[in-house]
Amino acid sequence: MDALPIVLDGFLADDAEPGDREGAVCWRLTCSAGTDHLRDEAVIPCTTIKPEIAQALLTERQPGDLLRVTGHLTLPDTADGVIRLHADTLEVLWEAPALALDGDGDDAGTVTARGADAERDTAIEALAEALTALAGAHGPETGIRIHISPTGVLGSGRQHCHSIVITPARAHQLADQAHTMGCHLDSERPDAGTVPDSRTIADITELFEDIDLVSLTGTVLSSTRPENRMQVTRAIDDMFGDVCDLEDPEP
């Protein structure tokens, strides 16, 4: 059967291994059909005899790396045959961070790490669910794929990998919302580089200490219509406490 030209994006499932032929390398690619359901994922056996690809897979790439493989897909002639992708080019879309090994045997540190992993996985699921709902149904127009996965070597955490396709219009909306959220957070965050000097703090403190709340209350009530004075008095009490009880605010 003729080989089919194809381009696949997927995660490197395991460490690559030398193939049966001299100079050949074999590996497995975990690919998604473009939805957020695990049943739509497939593991595709891949092989190559390209020296540069073989060298990169054996010495540089690690499980969890997101790769784009271009090549030809060979379909089996029999029902029990094996599909295999013969790779011509390899592009790294995302590198999985190296796994940090801790050999001190600290059980408390292990428990803390597991708790952090659980919180991370919950956050991933929440983000993937929100993005999937945002994506909705999309037609054949050009889409944008968003990959979400835990950091580190995936191992058993591969079930927390998600591949979601959104339209360019949705991507613009998402970018606008992210920008708005960033501006809101920045507005709430104090500027660490701006600290009032001691003289300014002293001036502000002196200003507030010199305010005579009784006199201020009398002035406010004097400028208030009689029918509104009770409401204004209660408002002032809510702000400053029971400042005064003036029957007649006129001086």
Indicate if the pLDDT at residue 64 is higher than 60.
yes
On whether residue 102 sits in a domain, the answer given is no
Q: Is residue 100 part of a domain?
A: no
Residues 130 and 173 in one domain: yes
243 has pLDDT over 60: no
Each residue's pLDDT tens digit, 157-193: 566 777 788 888 888 888 888 888 877 666 666 555 5
Quote the pTM value: 0.44
pLDDT above 70 as % of the chain: 71
**110 pLDDT tier (thresholds 50, 70, 90):** very low
Q: Hey, which of 137-141, 223-227, 239-243 has the most confident mean pLDDT?
A: 223-227
Domain boundary among 188, 215, 231: 188
In a domain, 249, yes or no: no
Query: What is the DSSP code (8-state) at residue 210?
Result: T
Q: What's the chain's average pLDDT? A: 76
Whether residues 77 and 10 fall in one domain: yes
**Residue 103 domain flag:** no
Q: Is 120 exposed, middle or buried (0-12, 13-18, 19+ CB in 10 A)?
A: middle
What are the structure tokens assigned to 138, written together? Answer: 């999309």
Within this chain, do residues 128 and 159 fall inside the same structural domain, yes or no?
Answer: yes
Residues 204 and 184 in one domain: no
Check: CB of residue 32 under 8 Å from CB of residue 41: yes
Number of structural domains (the chain) is 3
Judgement on whether residues 203 and 178 belong to the same structural domain of the protein:
no
Domain range for 159 is 116-188
Question: What is the rounded average pLDDT of the residues 216-240?
Answer: 79
Q: Which two tokens stand for residue 15?
A: 């460490």
Q: What is the CATH number of the domain that holds 26?
A: 2.40.50.140
Query: E strands, 75-183, where?
Result: 84-94, 144-148, 162-166
85 and 32 within one domain: yes
**Pair 211, 236 in one domain:** yes
Asked whether residue 247 is assigned to any structural domain, the reply reads no
Asked whether residue 12 falls in the same domain as residue 76, the answer is yes
Residue 175: phi and psi, rounded to 5, are -65, -40
Looking at the structure, do residues 225 and 144 belong to the same domain, yes or no?
Answer: no
- For residues 20 and 237, the model is more confident at 20
Cβ atoms within 10 Å of 38's Cβ, excluding its own? 11
Last residue of one domain, picked from the residues 94, 129, 161: 94
- pLDDT over threshold 50, residue 251: no
User: Where does the pLDDT of residue 150 fall: very low under 50, low under 70, confident under 90, or very high at 90 and above?
Assistant: confident
What CA–CA distance (Å, rounded) separates 165 from 184?
A: 27
More confident call, 200 vs 40:
200
Residue 220 in any domain: the answer is yes
| CA distances in angstroms from 48 to 8, 24, 62, listed in the order given | 14, 6, 17
Kindly state whether residue 109 falls inside one of the protein's structural domains.
no
Quote the CA–CA distance of 175 and 203 in Å, as a whole number.
Answer: 44
Considering 64-68, 76-80, 141-145, 224-228, the range whose residues carry the highest mean pLDDT is: 64-68
